[in-house]
Amino acid sequence: MDKTIRVFAPATVANVACGFDIMGFAIDNPGDEVVMQLCDKPGVVIKRIIGDEGKLPLDPDKNTVSIVVKQLLEQVQSDYGVEITLYKNMPLGSGLGSSAASAVAGLHAANELLLRHEPEKAIHKREKLLPFAMEGERLACGSAHADNVAPALMGGFVLVRSYDPLDVIRIPTPEGLFATVIHPHVEVQTRDARSILRKQISLEDATIQWGNTAGLIAGLWQGDFELIGRSMQDVIIEPIRSLLIPGFDSVKISAMNAGALGCGISGSGPSIFALSKNQPTAEEVGRKMQNTFGALNIDSDLYVSGINQQGPRIINEQ
């Protein structure tokens, strides 16, 4: 059996307006790719990183793609090691789950190789890989949150009901729901975006946020687009984090005027996402958002996608 595998893992939108640290969904594009080769010598080696402009470390203890694979192989006591080539197809610090995509691609590749060569040591339920992926997030931003890695690993829309114990629920997605994601060429570091958040909030704001979160989940479950739109209101995180994104308010207004159900910050930003009830609307929303950034002399990348239901996938055998 072949000892080399190539895996794609998708970008993700976390928080989803009112669902700070507890909600996220996967999109079809962009995403990271990993080429992994099984070796007889134990250990994890990063051979090369392509597309990162030299910003990411090759040290396997300091990169999310390798640290999670190392922990997996050590825990299952594999007799093998791996060599990794990472293709960074998405920008760092984008709010699109870049570190999560790398970690999930690495984990999926390593586990698929274990299934082929040490099936008795492989993880046979994908959700069991989630705690490993979360450790990659701890390395990347200091917090082992799951709202990026869970949808990247499991696909679809997810709710992180609890972190202790970990309890992740996959939420049905209405047919026709499309996401527009725009990445302006400005950088917001996740650590910085977390550090400015308020440590205490009012009971009034908390009540509004709880209602919106419940409404968003109910809207997704029932396929009620209007309820989804009404519920995509964030009164706690967005008012603060939006200050880090030039032109945020204008871009959000342009998205809503173009027919979006709702619009908000993707993860910690600077990417902004919108949800729409069909693809043509999502594409028009994207044009309006990109034009608004362009009027501010800010270049951007635009992605229009359905909700990715698959998560990581094998894309090519070497």
Cα separation of 197 and 264, whole Å? 16
Which residues is 48 bridged to in the sheet? 85
pLDDT tens readout for residues 28-72? 999 999 999 999 999 999 999 999 778 899 999 999 999 999 999
Examine residue 131 and state whether it is found in any structural domain, yes or no.
Answer: yes
Can 12 be counted among the known catalytic residues?
no
What sign has the CA pseudo-torsion 190, 145, 218, 278? Answer: positive
Look at the pTM and tell me if it is higher than 0.85: yes
Least confident of 210-214, 249-253, 268-272, 275-279: 268-272
Cα separation of 115 and 109, whole Å? 10
Query: Are residues 258 and 151 located together in one domain of the fold?
Result: no
Q: What are phi and psi of 298, to 5 degrees?
A: -115, 115
Q: What are phi and psi of 77, to 5 degrees?
A: 60, 50
Beta strands in 185-312 (DSSP E): 262-265, 272-276, 300-306
213: domain CATH number? Answer: 3.30.70.890
Query: Are residues 10 and 82 located together in one domain of the fold?
Result: yes
Query: Are residues 130 and 163 located together in one domain of the fold?
Result: yes
Q: Give every strand in the sheet of 272-276, ordered side by side.
A: 262-265, 272-276, 178-184, 300-306
Which residues is 26 bridged to in the sheet? 12
Given 180, 190, 213, 292, the catalytic residue: 190
End of a domain among 130, 153, 172? 172
Least confident of 139-153, 202-216, 217-231, 277-291: 139-153
Can 190 be counted among the known catalytic residues?
yes
26: domain CATH number? Answer: 3.30.230.10
Given 33, 83, 137, 238, the catalytic residue: 137
How sure is the predictor about 317, in pLDDT bands with cuts at 50, 70 and 90?
Answer: low
How sure is the predictor about 318, in pLDDT bands with cuts at 50, 70 and 90?
Answer: very low
